[in-house]
Amino acid sequence: MLANDADFTRYASDFYTEKLPEHAKQYMLASAERLRAFFNQQCNCRWVELLGAFEERAPFASCGSCDVCKTRKEHAGDLERDFSAEARILLTAVRRLPGKSWTHLEKELGDKHSPVAALRAALKVKRKLEVLKEFMTPLVSKGLLAKRTVKGSNAAFEVIDLPPAGAQALTQLERGGGPPLLLPVPELVRRADQKAAEEAVALRAQIEAALQGHGVDVSLVPEAELQPYANGGPVTEAILAYTNTIAGWRARGLNARADAHEELLERIRAWRQAEAESHRLAPASVLPDHVAMSLVKVKPTQLEALHALGVRVAGAAALLGVLDAWRAERAADVGAAGGAAGSQPSADTGAGAPGAQHGAGSAAGAALGAQNGALPLPLGPFQPTTPWALAKPSAAAGKKPAAWEESWRRFSAGEHPEVIAMKQASGKPIQTSTVVGHVLGALTQGRPVDLRRLASAVPAPTMQEWEALREAEDAARMDVVADDKAQMTVLLRTFLPAAAREFNERTPAEKAMLEGWYGRCHWYMALRRVGYAPPPAASGEPEAKKVRVG
């Protein structure tokens, strides 16, 4: 049956009633309400209801052909469900805005700062506003909500109130422990169920295809992550992140890079097998396959990152050796995707050993890397005097924190950037350099950051590199403080020829060298933007010749 509940309200407007005698007007309004009730009821056969309206008794309980009878037959056993959580959301919204139309309630339901937002966020199955609206009519039918028609200046419209029965039901829902609130299953919910089921089947097929040839049984994936409305989880996200990356490289002709990373996965598994045999454990107990795939992507360099993932066997340090050996052997094949090798902090400076990371891709890069004057970084958290003037504001209260804010919060709580990169809420790992970029972004927001600890993940530029970048900024006529769209490539190509070439024209060594410089540019631009200036005597030059920054 096709109709809209609001269609019946329109008949109460003056357009339809102003010229009618009072008795005729009341008769028409009552007739419209009976039609509304006929439309809204979803329990009895339409023909039985229709004949009853004419005071006739149907010789059957079900015609078998109307929409109600077909639904009852098709969905026998699933005509009603416990929609207590959805009902609580709507009843709460009406209690906050009594006597308002759906338009006002819709704004309240969509307001992320409203208390109702927390109730929506807690739903096991997320409901769109259009789906929540479908529960209004059943709640009215149960007497938990009440609708009445109000005449406006131009037309009649409906407003919704919370009657005593609804207030009592809401109190019980808030206390918890009461009986389930059974309501008819709206058609939009059934459509969403069907779509979620199809997506779950597609995800399972995608996971099975992704794992084919990688030696992983799909049965090791938690069944809960493959159910409708689950939308995957940490295990499936990690698997797809790895397999899709490999497939993407092969699609772009980067077969050597894909081969190298698949070889790394096999090396990690070989280490795992040896540890499993040594400790008499199942291999998956030493290191689950999806974690091994995440290791291939992030390539951690710190034991802390491995321990955070649950790798606590005595041979965990040997696993770092596996990663280091692979990086050294396959550097030419993996280019910038090789991870953090060569970017480790040197033991004596705490800033970095850039010569190893710059590689042989550029004479300028190699020459600068050979000089290792550490950029002096303050002890403990560094608090900018003021935030960068062009920093984008952080998320408003009640809204989901930005990615940079979550990374900064975790870093400030003591987590290593590699751990943060590996353990994302989505289950899909990110690059350590991305986490460092997030934390440096927090610095520009005026947040305190322990710069020395951050440099253990991606080194800050040396004094010589800082001066090179400062001179490059002048040469390119840039101002990274005043320009929030300043491009690192424009900065680097003033002294690194590889930066001026197209990406596909660069050698693997040049790509790896530039990757290191991009990390240093992140540092340079963030520090410049918060007014940090290296001490004049840090480089050993006469103070008059020092370039003051900030």
DSSP 403: H
Whether 348 and 436 map to the same domain: the answer is no
Task: Give residue 452's region: left, alpha or beta (phi > 0; psi -120 to 50).
Answer: alpha
| Distance, CA of 365 to CA of 539 (rounded, Å) | 19
Q: Strand, coil or helix: what is 183? A: strand
Tell me the residue ranges of DSSP E strands in 188-340: none
Highest mean pLDDT among 73-82, 154-163, 482-491: 482-491
pLDDT at 213: 67
pLDDT at 255 over 80: yes
CATH number at residue 133: 1.10.10.10
| Distance, CA of 489 to CA of 71 (rounded, Å) | 62
Structure confidence by residue, pLDDT tens digits, 273-288: 999 998 888 888 888 8
pLDDT (mean) for 184-210: 88
Query: How far, in whole angstroms, is CA 210 from its chain's centroid?
Result: 22
Question: Per-residue confidence at 339, pLDDT binned at 50, 70, 90?
Answer: low
CA dist 73 → 16, 46, 80, 135 (Å): 39, 14, 13, 22
pLDDT at 357 over 50: no
Whether 179 and 277 map to the same domain: the answer is no
The residue among 168, 185, 202 that closes a domain is: 185
pLDDT (mean) for 469-497: 88
Residue corresponding to tokens 């009730």: 37
Question: Per-residue confidence at 210, pLDDT binned at 50, 70, 90?
Answer: confident
Task: Give burial (CB, 10 Å; 0-12/13-18/19+) of 497.
Answer: middle
pLDDT at 23 over 80: yes
Residue 420 within a domain = yes
Whether 389 and 345 map to the same domain: the answer is no
Whether 425 and 519 map to the same domain: the answer is yes
pLDDT at 3: 58
DSSP 450: E
| Distance, CA of 124 to CA of 230 (rounded, Å) | 9
81, containing H or E segment? strand 80-82
The sign of the CA dihedral 428, 432, 436, 437 is: negative
Residue 82, strand partner residues: 182
pLDDT (mean) for 166-172: 93
Question: Per-residue confidence at 360, pLDDT binned at 50, 70, 90?
Answer: very low
For 66, the token pair is 């109307």
pLDDT at 7: 67
DSSP 160: E
| Distance, CA of 127 to CA of 123 (rounded, Å) | 8
Averaged pLDDT of the chain: 82
Count of residues in the chain: 550
Whether 448 and 514 map to the same domain: the answer is yes
Whether 145 and 266 map to the same domain: the answer is no
Residue 465 within a domain = yes
The residue among 185, 205, 239 that closes a domain is: 185
Q: Provide CB contacts within 8 A for 266, sequence distance 6+.
A: none
Residue 71 within a domain = no
Residue 436 within a domain = yes
Whether 321 and 419 map to the same domain: the answer is no
More confident: 311 or 124: 124
Highest mean pLDDT among 326-335, 351-360, 511-520: 511-520
pLDDT (mean) for 346-355: 31
CATH number at residue 301: 1.10.150
As for how many domains the chain has, the answer is: 3
DSSP secondary structure of 93-129: HHHHSTTB-HHHHHHHHH-TTSHHHHHHHT-SS---H
Structure confidence by residue, pLDDT tens digits, 68-103: 898 888 888 888 899 999 999 999 999 999 999 889
The residue among 353, 372, 398 that closes a domain is: 353
> What type of residue sits at position 276?
A
pLDDT at 523 over 80: yes
Whether 412 and 505 map to the same domain: the answer is yes
Residue 42 within a domain = no
Alpha helices in 11-60 (DSSP H): 14-17, 22-40, 46-53
368, containing H or E segment? helix 363-370
Whether 114 and 168 map to the same domain: the answer is yes
pLDDT at 541: 41
Residue 31 within a domain = no
Whether 299 and 386 map to the same domain: the answer is no
Phi (first) and psi of residue 69, to 5 degrees: -65, -40
Whether 460 and 541 map to the same domain: the answer is yes
Residue 240 within a domain = no
| Distance, CA of 441 to CA of 392 (rounded, Å) | 10
pLDDT at 321 over 70: yes
Percentage above 90 pLDDT, the chain: 30
- Residue 405, domain extent: 381-545
Q: Which residues of 169-194 are buried (b: 16+ CB within 10 A; e: fewer)?
A: bbeebeeeeeeebebbbbebbeebee
Whether 124 and 264 map to the same domain: the answer is no
| Distance, CA of 96 to CA of 457 (rounded, Å) | 49
Residue 134 within a domain = yes
Question: Per-residue confidence at 322, pLDDT binned at 50, 70, 90?
Answer: very high
